[in-house]
Amino acid sequence: MSWLLWCVLIAISVEIIVQYCIMRAAYPVLFAPMPDRFNLIGTLAQLPENDARIQIRDITFPTKDGLTLHGFIAAPAGTPPRGVILFCHPFKSTGRIALFQCRGLLEAGFAVFSFDFRNHGESDSDPRYQSIHWLSQHELTDARAAIDFLRTQPELSPLPLGLLGMSRGAGTVLGVAAQSPEIQFVACEGAFLNEELFLDHAIRWGERFLPRLFIQIVPTSEVIRAFRIMIWYSQRRQGCRYINLKSRLKALKQRNLLFFTGEKDQSVVPRMTDLIVKRIRNAHITVCSLPGAIHNAGRFAQLERFDSAALDFFSQMVETSSQVEEHTFPETLNAPADFLPSKRSA
């Protein structure tokens, strides 16, 4: 056997060993559910279920693939809402936490529409899908179904619509908005890109499982290759297709975006937001840093700061919508009756 063939065989063997070591160490961390560092369910004790100032109506709606999702619409009692916020909850939670996360918006006159993703809460379970914290096409399907349902509600469909999501829900609202140009205002907490978050976790936590020297000498390209192999395997195992937001972010140009970042977030470190922001061109972006906040606990740690930023942001949505109507409606006053709008446009 020639020396060249031996070199090829050795190189292949080394590659297989490196890939095996990376996947052996990383897969249990990256493709098993994240541990709960903050129990969102604990906020349920603070929900306005019995608040006479807020009306809550339970609803159900279908998805395009035949599931039934459960949710609710909350609105200020006695007064028309200023706008409507679609809230997308994080993994291992339910839409009910929107009543805590969006309490400041509710008190300021906004309606809030939230729901349980498939395999969560009261919504149907998809037997072919095992939910995990990585964003998949199923979450986008569910959120699009929620928007379609919202457009059938005569009291809400004319209102300006904004999106608010947390963690995996943050990726959901970014992905849905990228496909829906009419959605101009999107707020996120703990947003991340799959590949960047994987590399961050691999670098920070790899030494728990592998020798420091191994971490230092392995090229980043090897880690990315291992990640893509794990993605392929995990998709087959979980029954889904993970969503790569990188290619979709450019569609968010000219949008208004608000990112909440917890300064003590160790699951999705603040740098993840910076990586997203750098990929979005020509957008109006605000980053609100929340001191002392860990993952998914921004409002819990900084209630006034969180509510103030969210209210300022979505109030701009209402003002922008009003300005559009003021410039559009007068032009129709002298139009023939057949061309007069039957209702306000969102």
pLDDT-based confidence at residue 231 (cuts at 50, 70, 90)? confident
pTM: 0.84
Q: How distant, in Å, are the alpha carbons of 14, 41, 133, 167, 313 from that of 344?
A: 65, 38, 39, 33, 22
pLDDT-based confidence at residue 232 (cuts at 50, 70, 90)? confident
C-alpha torsion 238→244→245→251, nearest 10: -130
pLDDT-based confidence at residue 49 (cuts at 50, 70, 90)? low
- pLDDT at site 146: 97
- For residue 290, how many other CB atoms are within 10 A of its CB? 24
User: What mean pLDDT value characterizes the chain?
Assistant: 84
| CATH, domain range 53-211+245-328 | 3.40.50.1820
Average pLDDT, stretch 167-192?
95
Angle (nearest 5°) at CA 238 between 188 and 170? 0
Question: Residue 270 above 50 pLDDT?
Answer: yes
pLDDT-based confidence at residue 150 (cuts at 50, 70, 90)? very high
The C-alpha atoms of residue 239 and residue 125 are separated, in whole angstroms, by 13
- pLDDT at site 342: 36
Question: Residue 152 above 60 pLDDT?
Answer: yes
Per DSSP, which regions of 116-190 are E strands? 161-166, 185-189
Question: Residue 239 above 70 pLDDT?
Answer: yes
